[in-house]
A and B are shown apart, each in its own frame.
Chain A
Amino acid sequence: MTAPSSNHGLPVSVRGLRKAFDGRVVLHPLDLDIEAGEIFVIMGPSGSGKSVFLRHLIGLEEPDAGEIRVAGEKLVPDAADPRHRLAMVFQSGGLLNSLTVEENVGLYLTEHRLKPPAEIAAIVSKTLGLVQLGPADAAKYPDELSGGMRKRAAIARALVVEPELVLFDEPTSELDPLVALTIGREIVNLNRRTGATVVVVTHDRDLAFGIADRLAFLAEGKILALGTAAELRASPVPLLQQFLAAEFK
């Protein structure tokens, strides 16, 4: 890794963010502040607008109204806004299937020609080591990896960016509890190691309460509860209590 320890997290401020698709409001005007360097988890049932919110945070969606400020600067929905180092780990991993894991992880450095090829290879190898992927895995294509390994490779790709803000979209979906635990630890390690602000969107309650500094409960496009894990557990919001208590009996 080049300098992950020298990173710092970025604060995010969301004001009046609203989004509708085909007339259906997915995000009602939202106000939210995410502090620099914290692990902020957005929890909520499926279809509550969590992923759409996350896509706004990295500029993949343009809001109908409102604005997002990252470190005080307005986020411009642009494919290649280089002002801040942002990274996102997608639900599916988002690895390019035509490239090997090694090429995927080194893609940012290669495409932007930030380092000579030998140095990129060393950084990639070291970063893959951080997420417990070995040289044999590095030579494989994404479709030759298990779901958990793909997620870890995607985390490695995000790490190479030396991000100041990392977004995770459902990082433990489709994973067994043990692999989910590993991924959760990777997220915490990433935050501790780099100091980056981490925003995680999930409906996995164990993950959410296990890693979060603060949480928000999002349902039907509105933030119904916001606070620490203890504050959320004590929240009187019926939908949240239903969500937390839901169990198969």
Chain B
Amino acid sequence: MFRNLGEMLVLFGAVARALPRLWRERWKVSEQLFDIGNASLFMACVLSLFIGGVLSLQSGPVLVENGIGTALGQLVAIAMCKELAPVMMSILIAGRVGSAMTAELGSMRVYQEIDALRTLAIHPIHYLVLPRVVAIGVAVPCLVVFSNLVGWLGGAIVAAHNDRIAVPWATFFMGLRQGVDLSDVVNGLIKSFFFAICIGVICCHQGLTTRGGPRGIGRSVTKAVVNSLVVILILDYVLTRLLLPFDSAFGH
């Protein structure tokens, strides 16, 4: 485990050192971004709509019964942008995109494509890992913004149309505007960026260290997704704790 962790840190360091080459690899980054968007946008939309809806459905009746139904918009919005959107989008990306990355790199490793790159003096970190990690680091925060908007919409739809809640659209969004400021959204974006980098590094590392043919590829994919999920949830607590003082600074 510690060896893996060390290797991942080394890989992260190599990616960080390769960042000056980013402009050169911009087309590969854009290809990756396109693939990530293609693979995840629809799922992100469905997931976020229902998460927002369930949040409203669970908390709406309680708030309305206690006479604070106007706070529903704020509650849904804060929960979405600070916690649910970053975590759920990261889990989605780990499952859908990270697994595919591991499988692709693992297959390249098993079938000697990575060795072939090295013999052509093409550095696998520059050619394969840098574009993937950067693309995932850009895509996840963008997906989180999208997820926030769709989740808020889902929450508002349920709030307006559920008989036990019946909080009008205007009231929901007024509560949302009054209760949420930019720092809350940025808080979620910071978290999602760190999650994304971890997913990228973990999945690329698993791919690059794949051994043992098609079975090995399967093992690597499973390991990459499970490790990513564990790291996301642990890091979520750590980052939330670290970002708490900044919440207070903004008056929460």
Tell me whether A112 is interfacial, beta carbon within 8 Å.
yes
Q: How large is the interface on B (under 10, 10 to 19, 20 to 34, 35 or more residues)?
A: 10 to 19
CB neighbours of A88 from chain B (8 A)? 115-116, 119
- Nearest residue, chain A, Cβ from B115: A60
Tell me whether B38 is interfacial, beta carbon within 8 Å.
no
CB neighbours of A58 from chain B (8 A)? 119
- Nearest residue, chain B, Cβ from A79: B118
Q: Do A94 and B122 have beta carbons less than 8 Å apart?
A: no
Tell me whether A124 is interfacial, beta carbon within 8 Å.
no
Q: Do B108 and A96 have beta carbons less than 8 Å apart?
A: yes
- Nearest residue, chain B, Cβ from A160: B120
Assembly CA distance A155 to B91 (angstroms)? 43
Q: Do B121 and A82 have beta carbons less than 8 Å apart?
A: yes
Q: How large is the interface on A (under 10, 10 to 19, 20 to 34, 35 or more residues)?
A: 20 to 34
Interchain pairs with CB closer than 8 A, number: 57
Tell me whether A95 is interfacial, beta carbon within 8 Å.
yes
- Nearest residue, chain A, Cβ from B113: A96
B contact face: mostly helix, strand, loop, or mixed: helix
Shortest C-beta distance, B159 to chain A (Å), equals 46
Q: Do A60 and B119 have beta carbons less than 8 Å apart?
A: yes
Shortest C-beta distance, B41 to chain A (Å), equals 22
Q: Do B121 and A94 have beta carbons less than 8 Å apart?
A: no
Most-contacted residue by chain B among A79, A86, A98, A108 (CB, 10 A): A79
In the complex where A90-B116, A94-B116 touch, is A80 in contact with B123 (Cβ < 8 A)? yes
Assembly CA distance A41 to B122 (angstroms)? 27
A contact face: mostly helix, strand, loop, or mixed: loop
Assembly CA distance A111 to B126 (angstroms)? 10
Assembly CA distance A91 to B107 (angstroms)? 16
Within 8 A of A (CB), among B195-230: none
Tell me whether B4 is interfacial, beta carbon within 8 Å.
no
- Nearest residue, chain B, Cβ from A98: B104
Bitwise, B91-133 to A at CB < 8 A (1) or not (0) is: 0000000000000100110011101111111111001000000
Bitwise, A33-66 to B at CB < 8 A (1) or not (0) is: 0000000000000000000000100111000000
Please list 29 pairs of residues, one from A and one from B, whose beta carbons are closer than 8 Å in the complex, sorted by A's number.
A55-B115, A59-B118, A60-B115, A60-B118, A79-B118, A79-B124, A80-B121, A80-B122, A82-B121, A87-B120, A90-B115, A91-B112, A92-B111, A94-B111, A94-B113, A94-B116, A95-B113, A95-B116, A96-B108, A96-B116, A96-B117, A97-B107, A97-B113, A107-B122, A108-B120, A108-B122, A111-B120, A111-B127, A112-B121
